Amino acid sequence: MKLLVAIAFILILASLGSALFFLMRDKGQSNRTVHALAMRVGLSITLFLCLLGAYKMGWIAPTGIR
């Protein structure tokens, strides 16, 4: 599960970086920035739902503050 979360975070950051790159390069002439940000939102929602599902199935448990 840790590997899945780590990969998801890397993909989310890569999508955010590509959105910044397209924003600076295209100067608002294309929709690539919008698509990259929409991908980031989709990945974030998917990660949240996966974590919620894993918690409900008992695959992960909260550890609290140690």
Tens digits of residue pLDDT in 28-64? 788 899 999 999 999 999 999 999 999 999 988 888 7
Element containing residue 14 per DSSP (H, E):
helix 2-26
Query: For the chain, what are the domain ranges?
Result: 2-56
pLDDT at 61: 87
- CA 43 to CA 8: how far, in whole Å? 7
pTM comes to: 0.82
Of 42, 40, 13, 18, which Cα lies nearest the Cα of 30?
18
Give yes or no for residue 65 having a pLDDT over 80.
no
